[in-house]
């Protein structure tokens, strides 16, 4: 099948990670309002990834002659079962980093792939990946220094593991790419299983 791959996310990090799968794809970010109806991290990320994939799939399906494969993803940081989204401001970012430093937390990414099969039927599958992240203790000066960077403000949990925060990460249990925003190895295996790569 001649698939047209679409990433339903504007995240530059997800774009880089999807590029590792060696498929040509276009980026069409989902713009719909996110509706959260759970406080369980794994359920939240799967639901949000489904909303993103569905929005773009149905938007593009109308005027597309190709067999579509739309990939939606969403990532949250969870500390003691509490979801940490993107910080509202510096104070909020400081509060989050203060919780995470010197302790462990989980990063969940939900992924939904919607596609059309050979008969033009709409199909989809979803999964989530969880990675445990262990952080070193940080001094007040180190936290303030980190908050002075641009890094915390557009990321769940107020940090990016691939950036300046990396020096405070003691280690991880699970998939590193999942923490960055897309569990590429699991995605590849799932797409292979469904004949999409």
Which residues are the active-site residues? Answer: 74
Look at the chain and count its residues: 197
The conformation of residue 182, written as its DSSP 8-state character, comes to: -
195, burial (CB in 10 Å: exposed 0-12, middle 13-18, buried 19+):
exposed
Q: Is 76 left (phi over 0), alpha (psi -120 to 50) or beta?
A: beta
Integer angstrom CA distances of residue 138 from 101, 103, 130, 145, 165 = 6, 10, 24, 10, 11
Give the 3-state secondary structure of residue 71. Answer: strand
Alpha helices in 5-64 (DSSP H): 12-19, 41-61
């Amino acid at each position: 099948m001649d698939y047209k791959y679409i990433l339903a996310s504007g995240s530059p990090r997800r774009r880089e990670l999807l590029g590792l799968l060696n498929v040509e794809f276009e980026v069409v970010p989902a713009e719909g309002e996110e509706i959260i109806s759970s406080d369980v991290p794994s359920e939240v990320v799967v639901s949000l990834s489904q909303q993103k994939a569905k929005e773009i799939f149905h938007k593009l399906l109308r005027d597309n002659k190709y067999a579509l494969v739309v990939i939606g993803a969403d990532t949250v940081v969870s500390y003691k079962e509490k979801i940490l989204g993107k910080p509202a401001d510096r104070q909020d970012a400081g509060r989050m980093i203060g919780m995470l430093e010197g302790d462990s937390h989980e990063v969940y990414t939900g992924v939904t792939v919607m596609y059309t099969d050979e008969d033009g039927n709409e199909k989809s599958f979803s999964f989530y990946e969880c990675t445990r992240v262990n952080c070193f203790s940080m001094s007040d000066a180190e936290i303030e220094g980190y908050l002075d960077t641009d890094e915390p403000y557009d990321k769940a949990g107020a940090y990016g593991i691939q950036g300046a925060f990396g020096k405070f990460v003691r280690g991880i249990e699970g998939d590193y790419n999942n923490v960055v925003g897309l569990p590429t190895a699991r995605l590849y295996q799932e797409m292979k299983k469904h004949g999409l790569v």
